[in-house]
Amino acid sequence: MKLPICNACGEIQYPVREICGACLADEVTVQEVEVTGVLLSQVDLHHSMEPGFLANLPWSIGNVQVNGGAVMTAHLYGQLATGSAVDLQWITDPKGRDVIVAKPVGEGTVVWENLENKGK
């Protein structure tokens, strides 16, 4: 994943910001990083106003504390429990938007169609 990282302290800057939220340095650059973390919480959505989700409810999302410090909200893939170690990956949804997916550690590349099939 490409994410903004503080050059002074190494903290991931998410959401994106120009000044580090941890040390206030203004030396933030986008870098390719392996992002892993821990699933803090999860919820299954049972209703949606988005037509693309209706056929695939319930849809799982969760908050992940990444090893670089940030907390990210992600779509969940596979069998994950709160407290699970996860890898994060950017994917493109059917409308062309980049979204974050949390998946079990070591799981291969995920595409949107995998999410629609609930990772099973």
Calpha distance 7→52 (Å, rounded) = 39
More confident residue, 109 or 119: 109
Give the pLDDT of residue 94.
87
Strand partners, 30: 4
Calpha distance 24→87 (Å, rounded) = 27
Over residues 32-85, the pLDDT tens digits come to: 888 899 999 999 999 988 887 888 889 999 999 998 678 999 999 999 999 999
Over residues 8-28, the pLDDT tens digits come to: 998 888 888 889 999 999 999
Residue 119 pLDDT grade (very low, low, confident, very high; cuts 50, 70, 90): very low
